[in-house]
Structure 1
Amino acid sequence: MREVQIVYENKRVLPGETLIGKVYVKTDNLLECNKVVLKVKGREHTEYSSGDTKSTDERYHISRVFKIGERGIIGIGVTEFPFSVQIPRGIPPSYQGYNGTIEYTTEAVVEMNWTIDPKCKKEFRVIQERPPIIKHNLDSRHFKKTCGALQVEIDDDFLGMQSGLDVRFKVSDRSRVKGVSFEIVQQEKCKCDWHDLNHKSIIVGKYCPFSDNDLERWKELSIGEQWMHHLPFRGELIHVSYYLKVALDISLGFDPEIIAPLKFADEESIDDSFDKVEDNLDWF
C-alpha cells in the first residue's frame, strides 16, 4: 500500500501570504524514492464551443516545483514532509465562472524508478483583499439618471460590503406600470483565442410593486446588503465587473431601464459583528 495525502494548515490565502501544510506518505513496505516534490500551479482557463468547434485558452499565474524530500528510503508507516510556499502578489482570486475558471492546486509526487509514482493533488483557494474603507457622502447625489417615466438617484459611487447600496427612485407615469425591478448583474468577460466572450448573470434581485399612490413619489430601496460574492477583478483572460439595473415592469411594452456601474468599499464597523461572519465568506 502506498498512499499520499496533502493537509493544509491554511487552505485559504491572500496574495503575498504563505501556504503552509504537510505531505503525508503512508506505506506498508520500505519505499525507495528518488525524491519527493510539491508542484504548485495557478491556472486561468477559458473555454468556448460552437457546434463541433471547441477552443480553449489558458495562462499560468504560478508554475513551480519544490523538492520537499531527499532521495532515500521511506520507512513503513506514515512519514511527513512539511512545506511552506510563498504565494505571489497581484494574482487573481480562485474563480468558477460560466466561460472560465481560475484554479490553484498543489500536487505531491513521490518520484520512483520503474513504477508508477504515488501522488496526490489538492486545491487551495486564493482569496481577495478587502476593498478600501470609504465613508458615506450624504452631501450630494453621485448618480442621477432619467429614462422615460423612471428617475433614479444614488448617493454613493460604491456598494458598501455590509450596508449595500441605497437607491432612490420615482415613477412619473402610471400607464401600465406594474412595478420596478432592481438587479445587481455580474458581467464576466473572457478571452479565448480570438473569441471575446460575454456572460451576464443576476446576483441579487428585488422587486417593488407599484400602485397609484406611488406616482410622483420618491421611494428608497437597499440592495446588495451583506455582500458575500466575488469582488470585481481582472485576470489575464477573465474580467469580472458588476452593475445595477433598474427597470420599469410595463405590461405589453418596452421596459425602460437605467444602468449604473458599481464599485465596492468596506465600511467603518460599528461593532465586531462582521468578524463573526467573515469566516463564512467563500468569495474572498
Structure 2
Amino acid sequence: MGKLKEFQIRLASNKTVYSPGDVITGDLLVRLESPSENNGIKIQFYGHAYVHWSEQQRRGSGKNRHTVTVHYRGKQEYFNHSVYVLGRKGEKQSLSQGEHVYPFSFQLPGNLPTSYEDYIGHVRYEIRANIRKPWKIDPKARRVFTVLESVDLNNVPNAMMPAIGTETKHLCCLCCKSGPIKAEFQTDRSAYVPGEFVTINATLKNKSNSKVKATSASLMQKVTYRATRKSRIRWIKICDLEGKECSKKKTISWSNEKLQIPPVPPTLKATCKVLDIEYYLMFQGHLRMCAVDLREYEEITIGTIPIIDLYQNTANQQPSMQEYGFQESMPSAVVDDQANQRPAEAMIVPPRAIYKEVSGGAVNLSAEDDDGKAMAETTYAPQYTFYDWSQPAFTY
C-alpha cells in the first residue's frame, strides 16, 4: 500500500478515564503519502483480565529427579467487539492520498472492574485497529484507557470506625526468653480515598533487652491472583512513614502522625474472577538482623467517593459544590440526601476530584497481546481518583 504517514486512535476530548457503562467516542486517523489498496480497516474494543506466573518445581525421584518450569495462567474476558470502519472482511478497498477519518462509538458494559497493571497480571481495556493488507504485515494501532469503578465509602459498613491492632513479640536468645515487645496502634477510621491522610496513634512498649531500631507505618496492597489450578498472593508496599527507635525497657508513642494515600486503584473484590485488591495498614517494629520484625496488619478500604459526614460544621461559607467540581465524583442523590439532614451553610465539600497516574508510574506493554498476536509496543499508566488536599489545610 502507499506509504502510511500516520495511523492513530483518537479519543474525544482526549478523555482517558471512563466509568462502567460510559459511551466511548473518538475517531481513527489514517494519513497516506500516496494512494493505497487494502482489504478493509478493522477496529476492536477489548477488555479483559489476565494473570500469568511461573514456578520451578522438582519432579521424579532418585536419578530421575529433575526441575521443570510450571506456568500458571488465568483469564477473564469482559468484552470483545470488532467492526470494520472501512469495507468488509476480505473486500478490496482503495484509499486516496491524504487524510481519512473514521468516527467510532462503543458503550462499555455496566459492571467492569477497575484497570490494574503489574508484572504478574492486569485488568486492561483497549482499542485496537489494523489495516488489512494481503500478503503483508498489517499496520496496527492501539489505545489503552482506564476504567474506574465507583467505590462509595458512604456505603461501606463501619467506615468511620477506627482500625485497631495489637501485637506482642518475644525475643529468644539460646534458652532465654526476653520480656515482650508490645505494639498497639489505631487509625482515625477504616476507609479513605486517595489524597486523604490516615491519622495514626500508636504505642510501643519494649520490655526486652534489645533495642527496636525503628518503627514505621506502611500502606500495603495485597493482590491475590487466581490461575486455573493455583492462586498467588503478592504484598506491595505503597508508601510508608518512618518513626523513632525504642531503647530496651523503654516506651515510645506516635501521636496523630499522618500518612497520605497516593493515587492507587480502589479496593477490588468480587468483580474480577482472576484478581482481587485489598489494602492494609501495617505497623512495624524493626528488630535486630537475626530476628523477625514485629508486624501488625489491619485492613482498610480505599474508595473513590469520600465519606460525606467528614465535611461539615465549618465556620465560614464555603464555595458551591459546582465550584469544587463535586458533582463529578459523587452521585447527586447522595449529596441531596445528606444536604437535607443539615443546613447548607454548615457543609464543607472536599476539593475537586482529579485523576492522577498510579503511584509507581507507567508499565511497558508487551509487543504481543495475550494470544501472541503482534501489537505496537508502548507504555501505559492507569489513572485513579485523587483528592488534592494539602497538609495542614485538611485535618481531622
TM-score (norm 1): 0.84
- Aligned partner (choices 226, 238, 263) of residue 275 of structure 2: 238
Higher RCO (Cα < 8 Å, 6 or more apart): 1
What letter matches 1:241 in structure 2?
Answer: E
Larger proportion of strand: 1
Aligned residue number for residue 184 of structure 1: 219
Provide the C-alpha distance between the structure 1 equivalents of 2:191 and 2:238, rounded to a whole number of angstroms: 16
Per-residue deviation, residues 35-76 of structure 1 (Å, max 9, x unmatched): 322111123111121233333332211211022223643222
Per-residue deviation, residues 180-205 of structure 1 (Å, max 9, x unmatched): 21111111111122121111111111
**What is the aligned-residue RMSD (CA, Å)?**
2.9
Provide the C-alpha distance between the structure 2 equivalents of 1:61 and 1:45, rounded to a whole number of angstroms: 11
Aligned residue number for residue 110 of structure 1: 131
Size of the aligned set, in residue pairs, is 277
2:184 paired with 1:147? no
Matches for 1:1-284 after TM superposition, within 5 Å = 1-3=2-4, 4-9=7-12, 10-51=15-56, 52-70=69-87, 72-112=93-133, 114-116=134-136, 118-132=138-152, 134=154, 142-148=162-168, 149-173=182-206, 175=208, 176-210=211-245, 215=251, 217=253, 219-223=255-259, 225-234=260-269, 235-251=272-288, 253-265=291-303, 266-268=306-308, 272=324, 274-275=351-352, 278-282=354-358, 283-284=383-384
Per-residue deviation, residues 72-109 of structure 1 (Å, max 9, x unmatched): 43222111111111122221222212421222222223
Question: Shift of the alpha carbon at 1:214?
Answer: 7.6
Is the 2:281–2:298 Cα contact (8 Å) retained in structure 1? Answer: yes
Aligned residue number for residue 60 of structure 2: none
Question: Shift of the alpha carbon at 1:166?
Answer: 1.3
Provide the C-alpha distance between the structure 2 equivalents of 1:216 and 1:203, rounded to a whole number of angstroms: 25
TM-score (norm 2): 0.62
Provide the C-alpha distance between the structure 2 equivalents of 1:151 and 1:26, rounded to a whole number of angstroms: 64
Gaps of 5+ in 2: 57-68, 169-181, 312-317, 325-349, 359-382, 385-396
Question: Shift of the alpha carbon at 1:121?
Answer: 2.6
Is the 1:164–1:227 Cα contact (8 Å) retained in structure 2? Answer: no
Provide the C-alpha distance between the structure 2 equivalents of 1:217 and 1:31, rounded to a whole number of angstroms: 73
Per the alignment, do residues 64 and 173 of structure 1 end up closer, same or farther by CA in structure 2, a change over 3 Å counting? Answer: same
SS at match of 2:263: coil
What letter matches 1:119 in structure 2?
Answer: P
Provide the C-alpha distance between the structure 2 equivalents of 1:196 and 1:226, rounded to a whole number of angstroms: 28
Question: Shift of the alpha carbon at 1:17?
Answer: 1.3
- Structure 1 window deviating more from structure 2 (53-62 vs 82-91): it is 53-62
Question: Shift of the alpha carbon at 1:207?
Answer: 1.4
Provide the C-alpha distance between the structure 2 equivalents of 1:23 and 1:141, rounded to a whole number of angstroms: 50
Question: Shift of the alpha carbon at 1:209?
Answer: 0.2
Per the alignment, do residues 172 and 91 of structure 1 end up closer, same or farther by CA in structure 2, a change over 3 Å counting? Answer: same
Provide the C-alpha distance between the structure 1 equivalents of 2:80 and 2:195, rounded to a whole number of angstroms: 36
Provide the C-alpha distance between the structure 2 equivalents of 1:86 and 1:141, rounded to a whole number of angstroms: 38
What letter matches 1:39 in structure 2?
Answer: Q
Provide the C-alpha distance between the structure 2 equivalents of 1:30 and 1:61, rounded to a whole number of angstroms: 38
Question: Shift of the alpha carbon at 1:160?
Answer: 4.1
Per the alignment, do residues 2 and 118 of structure 1 end up closer, same or farther by CA in structure 2, a change over 3 Å counting? Answer: farther
Provide the C-alpha distance between the structure 1 equivalents of 2:196 and 2:184, rounded to a whole number of angstroms: 22
